[in-house]
């Protein structure tokens, strides 16, 4: 059986820097998104199409291969921080950045060493 993490792009939000207080109803911490790559093996595509809980990847610090990400707005303020896993053909950085740009107007995404990836 194929390893799902080799064929998934996924990200999760651990910290929402945009909210002013804990419990804010607009807090995006805990949000996640995940997508199977187009050329995934047939066994994974079949599992994915069933939309079972075991096919959704929510990256955390403990997820094998997970890397830290942070986004910033045009004032340089942090908007979100989280974790992502990326398939061999890429796409997770772009997916997290596009979501953050739409949701909070982020203009850049950086890795865990605060190095610019997109922006």
> Which sequence spans correspond to the domains of the chain?
4-118
In 3-state terms, what secondary structure has residue 100?
A: helix
pTM for the full predicted model: 0.88
Q: Which residues pair with residue 100 across a beta bridge?
A: none
Q: Say what the pLDDT of residue 98 is.
A: 96
Average pLDDT, the chain: 91
pLDDT by residue (tens digit) across 66-107?
999 999 999 999 999 999 999 988 899 999 999 999 999 999
Kindly list the distances between the CA atom of residue 86 and the CA atoms of 8, 11, 93, 98, in Å, as whole numbers in the listed order.
6, 9, 8, 15
Confidence of residue 11 (pLDDT cuts 50, 70, 90): very high
């Amino acid at each position: 059986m194929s390893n799902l993490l080799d064929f998934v792009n996924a990200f999760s939000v651990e910290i929402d820097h945009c909210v002013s207080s804990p419990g804010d109803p607009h807090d995006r911490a805990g949000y996640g998104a995940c997508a199977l790559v187009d050329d995934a093996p047939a066994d994974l595509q079949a599992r994915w199409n069933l939309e079972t809980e075991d096919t959704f990847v929510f990256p955390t610090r403990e997820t094998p291969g997970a890397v830290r990400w942070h986004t910033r707005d045009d004032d340089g303020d942090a908007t979100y921080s989280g974790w992502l896993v990326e398939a061999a053909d890429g796409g997770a950085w772009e997916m997290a950045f596009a979501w953050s740009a739409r949701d909070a107007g982020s203009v850049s995404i950086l890795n865990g060493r605060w190095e610019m990836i997109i922006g």
